Amino acid sequence: MRNTFADTFYEAGTRDKRLAVVVADISPAGSIQKFREDFPDRFVNTGVSEQIMIGMCAGMALRGLRPFAYTIATFTLFRPFEFVRNDLCYQNLPVTVVGIGGGVTYSTLGGTHHAMEDVAVAGAIPNLTILAPCDPDETKAATLWCVEQTRGPVYLRLGKAGEPDFTSIAVDPWEFGKVRYLRNGQDVCIFSYGPIMKLAVELADRFEKSGKSVSLISVHTLKPLDREGISTALAAHKHAIVIEECVPRGGLAGQVKEIAWDQKADCRLDAFSLQDEFIHCYGTHSDLLAAHGLSIESLVQQLKIV
């Protein structure tokens, strides 16, 4: 995802001279390095100074540039939180805040590097759009949207590198603000976003093996949320499931439940998220997700799939 973002951004940057990237002492992945070499004026490294990374983006946007702030998710959103809120969101400036390693991607780096609450925290701020692509293709589409958009600030939540493709055979194209069906079915619908789509795909496969037909839905635009699209899916399936790599309060699950309540949905609704807990577990990303209960074995068991 990192590399797809970098390649897409580089491409766009050759055409659009307003595009700039401001990093806070993070080695630029892939083509960002090339961007740095080819357009040195439009590449700024503030050093380990995330607050001014956001502040400078605001100032540059006020002068008509289209800056992207780029570093690890915790340091792009949590560390300079009030700068994101006041400088970018309150003033509604078209700055994209790119967070690498959303959720608990950086498993061995420990709690200080886990953006467990990124979607919840970002979702609480007025004006902030949230995009959470699940694979390289969606990352490309989301990045291109960020480059063109005129809405205001965006939190672009990415994983790291090497994510597989989940969407090349999707039913729907990527469209800003709309849920996207990757598979179309009748019995179960699974909502997910971001790299944990991997688990959603595995779960869909297990359901299908057990004879159920499944709609697999990428909720890549988390804010503004496609309430209508979610509502339609809840009405069309007997069983809805949310899988997300975010704390249980403030993410997608609660909002889907809200929508279900408002429309008096009569489907079954299950939500699987990170625990409301700092889990001190080191190992692979999957190890840490499993410690939060997010493994295929745990889901299959809880959902009693045979």
Partner 1 sequence: MASVEKGFDALAAQRRCLEYRRRILEISQQVTALHVAPAFSCLEMVDLIYSGLMRPSAEGLSPRFLDSFLMSKGHGCLSQYVILENFGVLEKSDLQNYCTPIGQLGAHPDFGVPGIEASTGSLGHGMGIATGMAYADRIKGDDRHIFVVLSDGELQEGSTWEAIMMAANLNLHNLIAFVDLNDFGGLARMSEGHPAFYPVLDKIRAFGWEAIEVNGHDAAAMHDGFLNRSRKKPLMIVGKTVKGKGVSFMEHVPIWHYRSPNKEEYAQALAELGEVSS
The terminus-to-terminus CA distance of the chain in angstroms comes to: 34
Shortest spacing between CB 79 and partner 1, in angstroms: 7
| Nearer to ligand TPP among residue 113 and residue 239 (C-beta) | 113
Check residue 165 and report its DSSP letter. Answer: P
**Per-residue string for binding with ligand TPP, 39-58, x by CB under 6 A?**
---------x-x--------
> Which residue has the closest beta carbon to ligand TPP?
25
CA 242, 243, 248, 249 torsion-angle sign: negative
Shortest spacing between CB 275 and partner 1, in angstroms: 15
Bridge partners (DSSP) listed for residue 130: 155, 223
Rule CB under 8 A: say whether 162 interacts with partner 1: no
**Per-residue string for binding with ligand TPP, 192-211, x by CB under 6 A?**
--------------------
In angstroms, the CA 145 to CA 12 distance is 11
Residues 266, 186, 270: CA angle, nearest 5 degrees: 45
Residue 287, binding choice from partner 1, ligand TPP, none, Cβ under 5 to 8 Å by partner class: partner 1
Site for ligand TPP in 68-107 (CB under 6 A): 75, 79
Q: E strands, 219-263, where?
A: 221-223, 239-243
In angstroms, the CA 235 to CA 213 distance is 15
Residues that bind partner 1 (CB under 8 A): 23, 25-28, 45-52, 74-75, 79, 108-113, 280-283, 287, 291
Residues that bind ligand TPP (CB under 6 A): 25, 48, 50, 75, 79
